[in-house]
Amino acid sequence: MKRESGSTLTAWMNHVKLPSTHPLGENVTCDVCVVGAGIAGLTTAYLLAKEGKRVVVLDSKEIGGGETSRTTAHLSNALDERYTNLIKTFGKESARLACQSHAQAIDKIEEIAKAESIDCDFVRVDGYLFANNREEEENLLQELEAVQQIGWADVVLRKKSPVGTLTALPCLQFPNQGRIHAMKYLAGLAQAFLNLGGKIFTDSHVIDFQPGMVTTAVTTTGHAVSANHMVVATNTPVNHRFQIHTKQAPYRTYAIGVQIPANSVEDALYWDTQDPYHYIRLQKNTTSEEQYDLLIVGGEDHKTGQHNHPIECFQELIRWTRLKFPMAEDVLYQWSGQVFEPVDGLAYIGRDPSHGENTFIATGDSGHGMTHGTIAGMLITDLIMSRPNAWEKLYDPSRSGLKAAGTFIKENMNVAAQIKDYLTSGDVGNPMQVMPGTGKIIRKGASKVAVYCDQDGIRHQCSAICPHLGCVVSWNSVESSWDCPCHGSRFDPFGKVITGPTKHDLGPAE
């Protein structure tokens, strides 16, 4: 067995040439302003441009610089929430709509890739949900009954998995799923949008959202985009302080890319039913003469900012992979990402309940970012074009979180429990105890301070209080970031905001 060689904490999809863009350097007016250049934002922008709308896209990073570049890019309507639960929460008809919407999203991705000649490794594959014990096997049978209730008749129970080492128990086979190279697709989608006359401004951090008859997004440079409609597609809404964030929770998820002999694993999607669950897919090697494939394995999820030693998540993922896939060789890549789990299992896509009829949001990817993002593009385009859409009520962001009251209460009690961090003494008592390349929280009087020591031994201090709702951040040793354990805001070692819901950097140390 080969030694571990994976030390690159970067997504395997990042090595893609993106269209040339630049920061916003002037005031712009348009029909639609989309904030976020990930899968949801660019799909929405592309489809609206196809309708003849003048669309401008803003992003604080580069194209796909958020979570799209970190997805494992499963394309599936075998939803993580399970149809057993969706039927209980929403009823059979709504569960059927959820299934159909994700299936149509896969179709739409395939359609766009073909229409725009995007070489993005799109392949239709089967998906397999497998059990590890008899209790999980019983859950499979319940899920089979649930999908039959919503009319998905071609899901079948197989006696064994295509990969014998995964399990000796039965598995559910879901046909007509898919996989894709997300960044190749996103790069092609962005270019197609630009070819339609759209504009993309990257490195343009929006600091102020102004709703009204004409909406306005203002960047840190003071330049603004004014539009008849605003779409906020930033993974979690950065124009919201409270409402949506009580109905979803941030989780870190981990992934590794492992070299395996070519054709040693059937090309398919695989998921288990553990909690947290594991998800597996292949990336076939088409660029190298070496005879190997890339096995992509994800899992070991936990609440953002609530794991003291996240490197253990990679270690456990590697251990599990070697147990289930004995043919695994070198670990070539390892990275983490952030997903937002809505309390009732379905995304929030549609009119923003807090900012008027002409502002829209897309959030709550729940591990299905590629299809949820595509659904967002299709649904929001219909809403802006004043067309009826059968999914509008299903994904309505104004729906109550109490549809899943138990999860709603549990997640918000977890947030409330983080207030204890104000009362602790801190990780260390003195900044000099913070070692190079690490970060620690210290107490200074009544305040908490985040201290980062760079590789030269210089210690940098900023407030440890998240500007969103005031929780104390924690150090993420895997990503070298400060993460908020309440609603998932993240900051670089020096306190500069990486991702929302906050729009602001950590303040100065008091």
pLDDT of residue 5: 36
Residue 117: both structure tokens together: 């000649």
Domain of residue 432 covers 423-499
Residue 507: both structure tokens together: 């303040």
Q: Which residues pair with 224 in a beta bridge?
A: 218
- The CATH number covering residue 436 comes to 2.102.10.10
pLDDT of residue 441: 93
Please report, for residues 44, 120, 181, 193, 257, the alpha-carbon distance to residue 114 in angstroms, rounded to integers and kept in the order given: 18, 10, 14, 15, 27
pLDDT of residue 288: 60
Whether 449 is in a domain gets the answer yes
Whether 214 is in a domain gets the answer no
**pLDDT truncated to tens, each residue of the chain (510 aa)?**
333 333 445 666 667 889 999 999 999 999 999 999 999 999 999 999 999 999 999 999 999 999 999 999 999 999 999 999 999 999 999 999 999 999 999 999 999 999 999 999 999 999 999 999 999 999 999 999 999 999 999 999 999 999 999 999 999 999 999 999 999 999 999 999 999 999 999 999 999 999 999 999 999 999 999 999 999 999 999 987 767 888 899 999 999 999 999 999 999 999 999 888 899 999 987 666 668 899 999 999 999 999 989 999 999 999 999 999 999 999 999 999 999 999 999 999 999 988 889 999 999 998 899 999 999 999 999 999 999 999 999 999 999 866 666 665 666 677 666 676 666 777 888 889 999 999 999 998 878 999 999 999 999 999 999 999 889 999 999 999 999 999 999 999 999 999 999 999 999 987
Whether 265 is in a domain gets the answer no
Whether 324 is in a domain gets the answer no
Closest of 293, 235, 340, 268 to residue 12, by C-alpha: 293
Contacts 24+ apart (CB under 8 A), 138-145: 139/84, 139/273, 140/170, 140/171, 140/172, 140/273, 142/84, 143/82, 143/83, 143/84, 143/172, 144/172, 145/84
Residues contacting residue 446 through CB under 8 Å, at least 6 positions apart: none
Whether 383 is in a domain gets the answer no
- Residue 5 burial (CB count, 10 A): 11
The whole-angstrom separation of Cα 130 and Cα 370 is 22
pLDDT of residue 425: 74
- Judge contact between 200 and 194, C-beta under 8 A: yes
Q: Which helix or strand (DSSP H or E) is residue 293 part of?
A: strand 292-303
Whether 80 is in a domain gets the answer no
3-state helix, strand, coil in the chain (%, to 5): 25, 30, 45
Residue 311: both structure tokens together: 């490197």
Whether 376 is in a domain gets the answer no
pLDDT of residue 7: 40
Question: Count of domains in the chain?
Answer: 1
pLDDT of residue 1: 30
Residues contacting residue 240 through CB under 8 Å, at least 6 positions apart: 352, 354, 361, 501
Closest of 53, 16, 10 to residue 31, by C-alpha: 53
Q: Which helix or strand (DSSP H or E) is residue 186 part of?
A: helix 182-195
pLDDT of residue 450: 94
- Judge contact between 51 and 385, C-beta under 8 A: yes
* Residue range 19-45, pLDDT digits in tens: 999 999 999 999 999 999 999 999 999
Whether 50 is in a domain gets the answer no
Please report, for residues 39, 71, 339, 389, the alpha-carbon distance to residue 367 in angstroms, rounded to integers and kept in the order given: 13, 8, 6, 23
Q: Is 54 buried (19+), middle (13-18) or exposed (0-12) by CB count in 10 A?
A: middle
* Residue range 303-312, pLDDT digits in tens: 999 998 999 9
Model pTM score: 0.93
